[in-house]
Amino acid sequence: HRAHFEEQLCREADLSSREQREFALVAIAVDNLDEIRQNHGLDGCERVIEALGRLLRAGTRAMDAPCRLGGDRFVVLLSGVGLATAHSRMEQLRRQCAQHIVAHNGQQIPFTVSMGVASFPHTAGLVDELMRSADRALASARDKGGNRIVLASIQFTPAN
């Protein structure tokens, strides 16, 4: 549920600011969904999205928060996790998706995902910036052909 996710994201940002710890936000999208729709119909697309949702729930901890934003877009909040750990965990998920086959109407539907990983406060210090940072990294992953993870750029501020 998106409202619950956004509430949890704000709580995590407040907690992270107070305790000076980081957390990660991962934007995820199914690759080539239009092609899946052409070959397997809307029902086939929904089966792929359901499979991704199950893999996300199975691959995240109770303290994390996966959420479907709509269409083929998902986002995951990884509590208390930095960029490197988030990348490692999401790489496992990316591989699972690439190996997972969705059975539908006697056919097999393979699928892959692209992901963009951002971290608070390193790639963005505000929740809105963090979402945009993860989305930019996701767009970069898709532009590079999909089935990959791109890390958001870390923002460095020069010392005076």
Residues 14-70: tens digit of each pLDDT: 999 899 889 999 999 999 999 999 999 999 999 999 999 999 999 899 889 999 988
Kindly report the backbone phi and psi dihedral angles of residue 158, in degrees, each rounded to the nearest multiple of 5, phi listed first. Answer: -65, 145
Q: Does residue 126 surpass a pLDDT of 90?
A: no
- Please state, in angstroms and rounded to a whole number, the distance separating the CA atoms of residues 13 and 22: 8
Which amino acid is it at 143?
Answer: D
Say which residue the tokens 């999909």 belong to: 146
One-letter amino acid identity for 5? F
Confidence of residue 108 (pLDDT cuts 50, 70, 90): very high
Whether pLDDT at 150 is above 90: yes
For residue 29, the SS3 value is strand
Average pLDDT, the chain: 92
- Average pLDDT, integer, range 4-23: 91
Higher pLDDT, 147 or 3: 147
Q: Residue 160 has what pLDDT?
A: 60
Q: What pLDDT shows up at residue 125?
A: 84
Helix (H) or strand (E) segment spanning residue 151 = strand 149-151
Q: Count each helix (H run) and each strand (E run) in the chain, helices first.
A: 4, 7
Please give the single-letter amino acid code of residue 3: A
pLDDT bracket for residue 78 (50, 70, 90) = very high
Give the chain's domains with CATH numbers: 2-151 (3.30.70.270)
Mean pLDDT of 6-17: 91
Residue 156, pLDDT above cutoff 90: no
Under DSSP, the state recorded for 148 is -
Tokens describing residue 142: 């898709």
Q: What is the Rg, in whole angstroms, of the alpha carbon atoms belonging to the chain?
A: 16
- Over residues 77-101, the mean pLDDT reads 94
Q: Coil, helix or strand for 59?
A: coil
pTM of the full structure: 0.92
